[in-house]
Amino acid sequence: MTIEVLLTEAEIADEFAEAMEARDLPEKFFYWTPLSVRAWKQLGEKSHESVKPTWDALAAKATELVKSFGGKVPVISFGAGDGSKDRLILKALLAAGREVRYVPVDSSQTMLEIACAGAEDDDCDTLGLKADISSPVHLMLAADVSEAPRLFLMVGNTLAGFDPLDQMKHVAACMHKGDILIVDARIHDDDGTLEPSEEQKAFVFAPLASVGLGREDGELKFVENQDDRKAGLYIMTRRFQAARDLTMVASGREIKVERGERIFLNFRYRFTREALRWIVAEHAGLKIVGEVPAADGRFVTMICSK
Ligand SMILES: C[S@@+](CC[C@H](N)C(=O)[O-])C[C@H]1O[C@@H](n2cnc3c(N)ncnc32)[C@H](O)[C@@H]1O
């Protein structure tokens, strides 16, 4: 297994302590520890069935999508996670006799190891890249691992964990003519089901559990607001409010949090289909060449080109 490192564990550990001190934890820390990865997997088990038909449909289209690519097909996945969705595409390409080079890009060493091992089991040429996809420089370096045309993936609602306006622009900036991007997002539904599941709570709480906090130390709050930059864009913030004075140790630094203080956990954007189309096409300047809505209407997957 080969994993190239642009973002080291020591850097992540330092950033984690700084983020704790700032009371604001970005998305990458929610997949960092084995506890977080376990919580993520338990959360994913529930959604797997609802997205499977979409992924079967994409796998069926994959060979057609890359038919103009000569030679080896580079498949570069931003925020690849365990790579389980990516592998459906890889397997379809390999089964059609295409040679593939798979590059999962993720900040989580554990996730990357799973993604690389899985693709290698399928006899796919694989290079893991440990990098920060919120950094335009890292994104560009990751994209340039292979020459265009390339198939980029940013799936499993990865876009929603970043500022989607910035992130889509950064991803679009990496793309050249002939490249294809598959990106998906959770659709905003007004069905009032804002009450988070136990699995969601365990997932967002895991980084705090890793520094010794228990659920009885405070309250988790999920709050959704409209993002005023675009109609149809919503942000769900997740916060922890300390119920008493707390002391945590992160990367050897002692961090004190007073009763009543809030720590911002990772957020999730949700989109109406129109808002997502606007971000991809008008804001980031990509062409939407196909859309695959999930059967239950909760996700949409877009196929885009430059
Ligand atoms: C919502 S998960 C999606 C995973 C996978 N694509 C799927 O479909 O199941 C987001 C992934 O992005 C990764 N991630 C989060 N923030 C990141 C960052 N700043 N840089 C690189 N990877 C990041 C996480 O480790 C996680 O694997």
The pLDDT tens digits of the residues spanning 157-205 come to: 999 999 999 999 999 999 999 999 999 999 997 655 568 899 999 999 9
Is the pLDDT at 267 greater than 90? The verdict is yes
**Are 168 and 280 within 8 A, CB to CB?**
yes
pLDDT, tens digit, for every residue of 118-155?
999 999 999 999 999 999 999 999 999 999 999 999 99
Full-model pTM: 0.96
Q: From the CB of 15, is ligand 1 less than 6 Å away?
A: no
| Pocket test residue of 42, 106, 139, 199 for ligand 1, highest count of atoms within 8 A of CB | 106
Domain positions in the chain are 3-27+44-187+271-305, 212-270
pLDDT band of residue 294 (cuts 50, 70, 90) is confident
Q: From the CB of 133, is ligand 1 less than 6 Å away?
A: yes
pLDDT of res. 268: 95
If you take atom 20 of ligand 1, which residue's CA is the nearest one? 132
Instruction: Tell me which H or E stretch contains 184.
Output: strand 180-186
Instruction: Tell me which H or E stretch contains 129.
Output: strand 128-130
Range with lowest mean pLDDT among 39-53, 77-91, 129-143, 198-212: 39-53
Q: Which residues contact 290 (CB under 8 A, 6 or more apart)?
A: 61, 302, 303
CATH architecture under which domain 3-27+44-187+271-305 falls: 3-Layer(aba) Sandwich (3.40)
pLDDT of res. 190: 66
